[in-house]
Chains A and B, each alone.
Chain A
Amino acid sequence: MLFKIAWRNIWRNRTRSLVVIASVAVGLFAGMFMIAFVGGLAKQEIESTIETQLSHIQFHNPLFIDDKEITDTIANAGQIISQLKTNADVKAVTGRLITMGMVSSSSSASGVEIHGINPADEKAITSIARDIVEGSYFTGLKKNEVLKNEVLIGKKLAEKLGIKLHNKIVLTFQSKAGELTAGSFRIVGIFRSRNSMFDQMTVFTRFDELASLTGTGTSIHEIAVMLKDDQKVEASTLAFKKEYPALLIQTWKELSPQMAELTSLFDKIMYVLIGIILLALMFGIINTMLMAVLERQREFGMLMAIGMNKPRVFLMILFESIMLTCAGIPAGILFTIGSVDYLARQGVDMSAFSQALSQFGFSNIVYPELQQSMFLPVTLMTTITAILAAIYPAIKALRFKPAEAIHKI
């Protein structure tokens, strides 16, 4: 009957209760939407980083990582790539020739990282082909004539150098022999990824053309691997490390520790925000419950007079607070599911902040994503908030003296 009384009590002041239920629903929605938004942002950022730059796993000569010397190539790279292509967990694999150099236009120059790639293989690993905003992804042909020395550059770099599609640029770098070498390349495509820093610092040429200029032959600096299942990154990396102990094999988290840190930071920020929302919610519930208790002073006096003991009085107030909160939880969850489902398809347009977002490599459109596993902890946290919010009003009620409380108006 305590449940029955508690449930009916919360409807004694319908408006007040509905306001609290609405604040619980809105608070819960705000918290969960925040999780979905930040979760979506983090996931997009990770996917973007993996697709644009890193892939899931990279193989290097251990010496290459520190100085990126052109001579620090992977031994037997062709054989390793062939073996990896037969691995059941591997979706795609490619080899890259990487060297640091200078790009020069007629008016200015800039330092860049030059990636010699196999266009067909690279297309299966990274999103560069999809990120082309002007021109095309290594056409290779013009009026049935095979084009040579094609280069893809980032939009940001093009703006910085004041160059356009089809302009020629000069790439200068060190050859295997230690000589300074230069090559003239025509811009056939301009890409814009989600990361403007990457766009400013990276250019792509064909592997063979770069290799012939550097004199490295078929040598490879980097093997990039994309797996079929991103949950198998750690396990596959361990297996590869056992198979190729002489190589430095790293997951995307190891290659970009700042990205892993960012994800962890997002999680922390998210919990702080939820904490603030729940704290505000708690004071709202305390206020309502306190008003309800003080208004019913005479009733509590009577209940204690006729023999209702203190634990029962406490429980009744606790039930009221929990029921009031629990009535708002389904509404909050449903509203969150509905809005996240819609926005996960439509995306949240953040183009008003595009410049700032781009600086950090974030996309203008954020697709919130809510993991179902979050429903239970958030619901539990909200229920705990309701329990904590009931404590002070309940203590207040327990302090009533029946003889005095009965005569309160």
Chain B
Amino acid sequence: MNIIESHNLSKVYNPKTIPVNAVSGVDLSVEEGEFTALVGPSGSGKTTLLNLIGGLDYPTGGDVKIEGVDITQMSENKLIDFRLKNIGFVFQAYNLIPVLTAAENVEFVMLLQKTAKREREQRAIDLLTEVGLKDKIGKRPSELSGGQQQRVAVARALASKPRFILADEPTANLDSTSAENLLEIMAKLNKEDNMTFIFSTHDQRVIDKARRVVTLVDGKIISDTKK
């Protein structure tokens, strides 16, 4: 079953001055449980495509359907609510809330979902344990290494029980050991919980782990390989 479907998806920046076709006519379907990597050189449109699929940006053409719902027609406010309920995000620069502890960062998304206090506290501990950070739950991001912060980000992405997780270059700022650890955690979540992951990446280790590799050049898909 397709979770994500895009049809003739396009995004043009500066359409009235110097138009830049970041994404051009992309048709992409992602099934539940996939572990997909979007690869390509810098400027190929990986992040833009991820933003469009994640509802962080509006396309200039085409549509994106998440489980049959066209998110490109949603208002900004509805889209925020849709993201909260359906999509988990992992960003290249971790992007945790610096003034909250690891547990509070994970809890925060559940707080937005109005989950009961006891439930969200327990789930935060469970998720941090799952990503191997049980002993770091009271630490703030500044007290954690890059790899640990990214694992907190993965736990946060999982906290909202999303339909899929979008990760923009998740290993780009990590050393090789931290990157390996993170990939293993994500692969395990994919395998055991059937969680769908879509990455944009340059990292060969991520590409090697991926079961499907979609290659973009100049905003167009030039290859789509399933392993």
Give chain A's interface residues, CB within 8 Å of chain B. Answer: 1, 4-5, 8-9, 12, 298-299, 302-310, 312, 401-403, 406-407
A302: chain B residues at CB < 8 Å are 89, 91, 95, 97
Query: CB of B195 within 8 A of chain A?
Result: no
Q: How far is the CB of B123 from chain A (nearest CB, A)?
A: 15
**Known contacts A8-B99, A302-B95: A1-B107 contact under CB 8 Å:** yes
Contacts from B to A (Cβ < 8 Å): 47, 51, 54, 56-57, 76-77, 80-81, 83-85, 89, 91, 93, 95, 97-100, 104, 107-109, 111-113, 156, 160
In the bound complex, do residue B57 and residue A307 qualify as a contact, i.e. CB atoms below 8 Å apart?
no
Q: How far is the CB of B56 from chain A (nearest CB, A)?
A: 4
Report which of B56, B77, B111 forms a contact with A305, defined as CB distance below 8 A: B56
For the residues of A in contact with B, the DSSP-based class is helix
Q: In the complex, what's the smallest C-beta–C-beta distance from A363 to chain B, in angstroms?
A: 53
B83 is contacted by which of A5, A12, A299, A305 (Cβ under 8 Å)? Answer: A305
Instruction: Give chain A residues whose Cβ lies under 8 Å from the Cβ of B91.
Output: 302, 305, 406
18 contacts between A and B (CB under 8 A): A8-B100, A298-B95, A302-B89, A302-B91, A302-B95, A302-B97, A304-B80, A305-B83, A306-B84, A307-B83, A307-B84, A307-B85, A307-B113, A309-B80, A309-B84, A402-B57, A403-B56, A407-B47
> Nearest CB to that of A313 among chain B residues?
B80
**Contact assessment for A309 and B109 in the assembled complex, using a CB-CB cutoff below 8 Å:** no
Known: A8-B99, A306-B84, A309-B80. A403 touches B112 (CB 8 A): no
Contact of A307 among B47, B93, B95, B109 (CB under 8 A): B109
Chain B residues with CB under 8 Å of A402's CB are 56-57
CA distance A189 to B98 in the complex (A): 78
Tell me if B156 and A306 are in contact (CB < 8 A): yes
Interfacial chain A residues near B108, Cβ < 8 Å: 1, 306
For the A-B complex, the count of residue pairs with Cβ-Cβ distances under 8 Å equals: 70
* Residues of A with C-beta under 8 A to B100: 1, 4-5, 8
A9 CB, nearest partner CB in chain B, Å: 6
Q: Are B83 and A306 in contact (CB under 8 A)?
A: yes
B139: shortest Cβ distance to chain A, in Å? 14
Separation of A304 and B81 alpha carbons in the complex (Å)? 10
CA of A402 to CA of B166 in the docked complex: distance in angstroms?
14
Q: Are B104 and A307 in contact (CB under 8 A)?
A: no
A306 touches B98 (CB 8 A): no
Known A-B contacts A1-B111, A401-B57; the reply to A309 vs B89 at CB < 8 A is no
Measured CA separation A391–B164 after assembly (Å): 36
Set of chain A residues within 8 Å of B85, measured between Cβ atoms: 307
B112 and A308 within 8 A (CB):
yes
In the docked arrangement, what's the CA distance between A5 and B98, Å? Answer: 9
Specify the chain A residue showing the minimal Cβ separation from B11.
Answer: A403
Report Cα–Cα, A307/B99, bound state, in Å: 18
Q: Which residues of A contact B76 (CB under 8 A)?
A: 310
A8–B142 CA distance with the chains assembled, in angstroms:
14
In the bound assembly, the distance between CA atoms of A298 and B77 in angstroms comes to: 19
Q: Known contacts being A1-B108, A5-B100, A302-B95, is A307 close to B56, with CB within 8 Å?
A: no
